[in-house]
Structure 1
Amino acid sequence: MVKEAVEEAKKTASAKEEPGDGEIPVEDGDKEDKAGAEGQEEPEEEASPEEGKTEGKKLFGRKKKDKKDEKIEELTDKLTRQMAEFDNFRKRTEREKSQMYEVGAKDIIEKILPIVDSFERGLDAVKEEEREHPFMQGMDKVYKQMMTTLKEIGVTPIEAVGKEFDPAFHNAVMHVEDESLGENIVAEEFQKGYMYRDSVVRHSMVKVAN
């Protein structure tokens, strides 16, 4: 009976070890590895705290500026504005100085022009036979020197006779009908006008035809 029990135990053990039809024998350790591989996926990498902060900045906008940076920007803006204001002040001052210089120059020229008028009237009154006198030649040279100096500083006479009347340069004090002249033409000049650079110092006093 003992022998029969041993034989029965061997048969039972061999039946457990043999695989079924169509099955491939797998060791216990392989079964556990494959089950673990099939049942579990590779874990995803967790986001680091630094990446989380970066994403938070993107979502909620820029980080608040430091007080020092805000102060630097404020002072820089103030300095830029002050420099612009100073540049405007400098240009305005130079323009005003230039205008003041022109006003002063015109005032002096206006005081000199009557002297020029006197010279011209005096020279026109000299007779032809007296023009060769040394005194008259000297006076003529003084007059020419004065006119050259005025021209060098920008004083020029206004053309009048034969030109069309222009109220910007001429002051009409008389009117005459003359068929030999065109309409609104200056026929005669009573007092010569002058300009200083681009502005009129004294208008020409004229008689206008037609």
Structure 2
Amino acid sequence: MAVFSPRNTAIAALVLLAATAATLLAMGRVPICTCGEIKLFAPEVYSPDNSQQIADWYTPSHVIHGFLFYGATFLLARLLPAGWMPVGARLLLAMLVEIGWELLENSPIIIDRYRAQTIALDYYGDSVLNSICDVLAMMIGFWIARRLPVLATVALGIGLEILCLVVIRDNLTLNVLMLVHPVQAVLDWQKGAMPPAP
């Protein structure tokens, strides 16, 4: 469909990103880290930089979102008549879902839930920079899934999950589990990696 040409899709994606940033600012989110610095990567999970910079150890989760959204929209497109859901439409739908999550994740109800039920004790929400970069990470994941064979995408997703599990004792799977149905044994194991309180 011409309406979802690469140019029109890019314009729509930019409009969605701008609208997301404006909404997050209206919600009271800080534009960048309150430390005043912009960093490419925040390596410390238990630091004020986490969820504030361009990327952190939770960025792979958003890449995996892209894998999952590509697969889900691929299956959805197969249920519709041919041509009704071209890849541009699928990307924009994936963006809407990811943006919806970013807005919900930065609402008081989810922030409080994270702080009460997960290892994110000092989580006060993402910076606007981090949220926009999370959406971009999802878009990169979507693009990767479109280019790689299915088995390679699955292997990469599992690899990212294992990497995060080993390095920070958290990943997308555990994050969802602990948000939806907290398990005390998992929380205790995750807390074992936390630095001692000052």
- Taking structure 2 as the reference length, what is the TM-score of the superposition? 0.20
Q: Which structure shows the higher helix fraction?
A: 2
Higher relative contact order (CA 8 A, sep 6+): 2
Task: Write 1 or 2 for the structure with the bigger share of strand.
Answer: 1
**TM-score, normalised via structure 1 length:** 0.19
Rg larger in 1 or in 2?
1
